[in-house]
Chains A and B, each alone.
Chain A
């Protein structure tokens, strides 16, 4: 501390220590299900209901110049989710995704038309031969607070508009919009989707996805905090390959939902319809085909976390 340089060094050294301790404290605390904000005394676990609306299987190519022809499933779905319990002061954004899961068809030919699974074990069937493909996702950013960069800049260093035409109204409206956006504290993480189009069409490694049975839709999420580990919906102690692992016998109600996750909200089971407008078998078959997309029962609500 005898001269300026050593004082700078000492101050920054201790500053780094303090900053890291602070970061550790914040990340440790955000793993505990405590939320002191007055509106919600404790974060309620996320709830969601998910159902399939309409499925179409069409033929297509992976890209324009590909000679490969594959079948692609468009799955429209309804989603009603309340993920507001996932947001606290240490939440940067929440990534939500809907994925379709369907069992692997154990056929070597990849014909995919025979309904029952063969006895051939598939080498890559790590998870009991389930395929999982994401059909839709979104990022829910945490709501802006009074002290974000933009709001602080707006408050203390308002942008000086050039003295030009209609400057007053311009800046006024701009600031009004900004303040309205920030004071309007809506509950984040409420998702209501009706007949939502999928972002991604899915196909199978075999290229055949029509008439595959026993598919489900699953809602998953992960929470990306400002400081600390990424939190998955399965929880930190849960094996990502599903319940029934050694660690899932841990039962800590205190750490529920941050650590252990919960049952994933799933849709009811559905079957992929036959290929749309493909071979023309018989008239009755065609009628069935046209009805096909509507056959999955739409209101199979299940899976409350």
Chain B
């Protein structure tokens, strides 16, 4: 039951790992900026502000689709967390910034 609930929660939350967050942030900024630039240039050259509108809308929808769902690409670098109270793991195994922590 707990497992099921956590699955549902995962599906709603759509968590991604740290590397995925970096990629998603970059993708969002890049796609929207490029969309705005392309929309402006095409609309200006064609002298048609509707074209700007459509390109802008299409790019925005594309960006939302690319960034919002937790695509597998955003979860390629899962963090290996320490579990609390793991038997067999001494404190000496914890390495922080290249130094073993006592």
A residues at B contact (CB < 8 Å): 1-5, 7-8, 10-11, 14-15, 18-19, 21-22, 25-26, 29, 35-37, 88-90, 145-149, 152, 226-227
B residues at A contact (CB < 8 Å): 12-16, 20-21, 24-25, 28-29, 32-33, 35-36, 39-40, 43-54, 56, 60, 63-64, 67-70
Known: A4-B12, A22-B52, A148-B50. A10 touches B32 (CB 8 A): no
B49→A89 contact, CB < 8 A: yes
A36→B33 contact, CB < 8 A: no
A36→B25 contact, CB < 8 A: no
User: Which residue of chain B has the shortest Cβ distance to A90 in the bound complex?
Assistant: B49
A8→B47 contact, CB < 8 A: no
A11→B45 contact, CB < 8 A: no
Complex CA–CA separation, A226 to B50 (angstroms): 10
A25→B40 contact, CB < 8 A: yes
Complex CA–CA separation, A136 to B43 (angstroms): 34
A89→B16 contact, CB < 8 A: no
A145→B48 contact, CB < 8 A: yes
Selected from B20, B33, B47, B56, the residue in CB contact (under 8 A) with A89 is B47
User: Which residue of chain B has the shortest Cβ distance to A17 in the bound complex?
Assistant: B32
Selected from A7, A10, A14, A226, the residue in CB contact (under 8 A) with B49 is A226
A30 to chain B, nearest CB (A): 9
